Structure 1
Amino acid sequence: MTNQKLVTILGGGAWGTALAVLAKANGHEVRVWSRRSSETLATVIQGADMILSAVSMKGVRAVTSQLVSSPVSPETIFVTATKGLDPQTTCTPSQIWQEAFPTHAVVVLSGPNLSKEIQQELPAATVVASSVASAAELVQVVFSSDRFRVYTNSDPLGVELGGTLKNVMAIAAGVCDGLQLGTNAKAALVTRGLTEMVRIGVHWGANMETFYGLSGLGDLLATCNSPLSRNYQVGYQLACGKTLTDILAHLEGTAEGINTTQVLVQRSKQQKIPLPITEQVYRLLQGEVTPRQALLELMLRGMKPE
C-alpha cells in the first residue's frame, strides 16, 4: 500500500482497540498506547501522521498536557473519539485538543458505534468532522471499509455534542425499559430527548441539521436501545433497584453520561436552558428521586405545544 499512514491510538479500551483493528485492516501501521504501556507517549507518537485519542474524558487533559511538550510534527492530524464534557471548564474534548495544539487540524470521530459490535465485524457507520475538510477526508480514508462506512461533516461541535449528550438520554431510556413502561413511553422519551439535545447544541453554536444525522439521532437510537451501552445499563439497573455505587463497581469501562449530566446541569443553570430530562436524570443519579418519580415528573410537566 503506497499511501500507508502511521496512526497512533491513545487508549487501549474497547473503543481504541476496535479503531486500531479497522486502521490495521486497511494496511496502515498502528501503534496503541495506554496508561499501562511500557513505551512512553513521546516514543509512540514519533513520526505519526495521525494521533487518535480514545481515552476517557477524565484522561483527556492529562494526555494533552503530556503531548504538548513532545515532538509532534506540524502535519500531524489529531482525531478525538471521546464522548464527554470537561467538569472544570465544560469544554468538549476537541476544544481541549485545539487549545493545546492551535495550529493542528483536529477531527471529531463519532457515531452509532457500539465497540462490541464493531469487534464482531458487524456493519456500522460513523462521522468524521473538522473545520479542515482535507483532514476529515484523510481520516475517512484511513478508517473506511466495507463494514465501516465513514461520512465527513463540517460541524465538529455538533458531531461531538451529539455523541456526548445522547449518553444522558440513554440513562433515561434504560430507566424506561427497566421500569417496563412500554414502547410508547420510550418513543416519547427518545424523541423529546433529541429535542433537548438540539436545544443545547444550537445554543452552544452547533448546526441543528447535524443532530438529525448519524452522530445525533443515529447514536441516540443505538445507545437508547442496546444493553451493550454502559449508560443504558446504568439507567436500567437503577430502575431494577440497584444502587449507583454497586452498578459502577461492576460496569466494564466508563459510563460518560454520569459526568456529562452533572456538567450539563451546571451549565444550563448558568445559561438558563430548560433541560427537563437531563434535570430528572441528574436528580436520579444524586439519589434525590426514585426512577419512577423521575419519569412521573416528566409526564406531569405543564401542558405546552410540541
Structure 2
Amino acid sequence: MSDPKSVAILGAGAWGTALAVLAKTNGHQVRVWSRQGSQTLAEVVQGADIVLSAVSIKGVRAITSQLQSLAVSPETIFVTATKGLDPETTCTPSQIWQEALRDHAVVVLSGPNLSKEIQKELPAATVVASKIATAAEFVQVVFSSDRFRVYTNSDILGVELGGTLKNVMAIAAGVCDGLELGTNAKAALLTRGLTEMVRIGVHWGAKLDTFYGLSGLGDLLATCNSPLSRNYQVGYQLAVGKALAEILLHLEGTAEGINTTQVLVQRAKQQNIPMPITEQVYRLLQGEVTPRQALLELMLRDMKPE
C-alpha cells in the first residue's frame, strides 16, 4: 500500500459514501462533507491531497465557487465523480472545475460503478482521466484495490461524456424492459444508443475509442441492465404506467439522465446533430408521447444503411 493520503469526499450520497469506503479500506485518511453535516467545507478540504466531488450536477457550480475562496494547497488534486451536464451552460462537471480552479489538476472518475454493488464489496473497475498523467496515476493508486480496478486515460472529455450520455440510454432501456419488448429489441436499442453517444461525443471533441471502453460501453451495459440504476428505474416505471412526479417522489437520490436529456436535446438542436433515441426519451419525459408511441416513432424512422 502507498503512504496514507488525505482524501476529502464532497457529497454523502450513495456514490460519495462508496468511494469514501474504498479510500478508507486502502488505509487513507478520509473526511466526508455534506450540506447536512457538522463540519464546514473549509474544515473538510484542509490539507487534503485529493478532493473528490460526488455532488449532483446542480450543486457543482456552488461548490467550486466556495472552494475558490478557500486556501487550498496548489498541490491538491480535484476529482469529479459527477455524471451530468450543467443546465445553464451545457458544460461538463470537469469543465466547471477546471474553469474555477485553473491552477489545479482535475481528474474525472467514471465507469460501470453501481454504488450498491460496490458497497457490497463486489468486484468493479473504473477509469480516471486527466490531461495531467501524474494526477490520474496518483488517484489510481489511492483508489485501486483487489475489488476495485482503476485504469487511467488521457481523454477527460470522452470518459466524462460516456458516463453522462449513457444515463439517457438507461431511461430508454428501462422503458424497453418495462414494456417487456424482449432481448432483440434491447440489443438493438443499446447498439443504436452507443452509436448516438459516439456521434455527439466525437462532435464535441472526445476520442472515438474511449466510448468502447469501461466509461462508455462498460457503463452503458451496467446501467441499462440493472434495476439498481435510478435512470433505468425511471424508464421502467414510466413504462408500467406511473407518472414521472410520482416516480421521482420515491426515488433514492438523483436520476441525472432527466436533466441530461433536456440539456442534450437543446445542444443537439443548436448543432444539428441527429439524436433520435434522446429525442424520444425527451418527449416521453415531457409527457408528449406514451412509452409505446416513443418506441413506434423509433421503429418507423426512414430506412437507411447502418
Give the TM bin, normalised by the shorter chain.
over 0.9
TM-score (norm 1): 0.99
Secondary structure at the counterpart of residue 265 of structure 2: helix
Structure 2 Cα separation of the partners of residues 32 and 45 of structure 1: 9
**2:229 corresponding residue in structure 1:** 229
Mapping for residues 203-222 of structure 1, pairs under 5 Å: 203-222=203-222
Post-superposition CA distance 1:247-288 (Å, at most 9, x none): 000000000000000000000010000000000000000000
Secondary structure at the counterpart of residue 39 of structure 2: coil
Structure 2 Cα separation of the partners of residues 300 and 176 of structure 1: 16
Task: Give unmatched runs, 5+ long, in structure 1.
Answer: none
Shift of 1:37: 1.1
Mapping for residues 239-254 of structure 1, pairs under 5 Å: 239-254=239-254
CA contact (8 A) 2:165 2:260 kept: yes
Mapping for residues 153-302 of structure 1, pairs under 5 Å: 153-302=153-302
CA contact (8 A) 2:20 2:30 kept: yes
**2:5 corresponding residue in structure 1:** 5
**2:126 corresponding residue in structure 1:** 126
TM-score (norm 2): 0.99
Mapping for residues 49-198 of structure 1, pairs under 5 Å: 49-198=49-198
Secondary structure at the counterpart of residue 303 of structure 2: coil
Call closer, same or farther: CA 1:2–1:223 in 2, change over 3 Å. Answer: closer
Structure 1 Cα separation of the partners of residues 244 and 44 of structure 2: 37
Structure 2 Cα separation of the partners of residues 267 and 2 of structure 1: 43
Question: More deviation in 74-83 or 37-46?
Answer: 37-46
Secondary structure at the counterpart of residue 31 of structure 2: strand
Structure 1 stretches of at least 4 aligned residues deviating more than 6 Å after TM superposition: none
Structure 2 Cα separation of the partners of residues 152 and 301 of structure 1: 39
1:22 partner letter = L
**2:25 corresponding residue in structure 1:** 25
**2:16 corresponding residue in structure 1:** 16
Structure 1 Cα separation of the partners of residues 39 and 113 of structure 2: 29
Shift of 1:2: 6.3
RMSD between superposed Cα atoms in Å: 0.6
Secondary structure at the counterpart of residue 3 of structure 1: coil
Shift of 1:218: 0.1
Post-superposition CA distance 1:115-165 (Å, at most 9, x none): 000000000000000000000000000000000000000001000000000
Shift of 1:48: 0.5
Secondary structure at the counterpart of residue 51 of structure 2: strand
Shift of 1:83: 0.1
Structure 2 Cα separation of the partners of residues 132 and 78 of structure 1: 12
Task: Give unmatched runs, 5+ long, in structure 2.
Answer: none
CA contact (8 A) 2:2 2:141 kept: no
Secondary structure at the counterpart of residue 289 of structure 1: coil
Structure 1 Cα separation of the partners of residues 2 and 27 of structure 2: 10
Structure 1 Cα separation of the partners of residues 216 and 294 of structure 2: 24
Structure 1 Cα separation of the partners of residues 167 and 44 of structure 2: 31
Secondary structure at the counterpart of residue 67 of structure 1: helix
Secondary structure at the counterpart of residue 70 of structure 2: coil
Shift of 1:241: 0.2
Secondary structure at the counterpart of residue 103 of structure 1: coil
Post-superposition CA distance 1:199-231 (Å, at most 9, x none): 000000000000000000000000000000000
Post-superposition CA distance 1:50-70 (Å, at most 9, x none): 000000111101111111100
Call closer, same or farther: CA 1:31–1:184 in 2, change over 3 Å. Answer: same
Structure 2 Cα separation of the partners of residues 72 and 204 of structure 1: 31
Secondary structure at the counterpart of residue 227 of structure 2: coil
Q: Percent identity?
A: 86
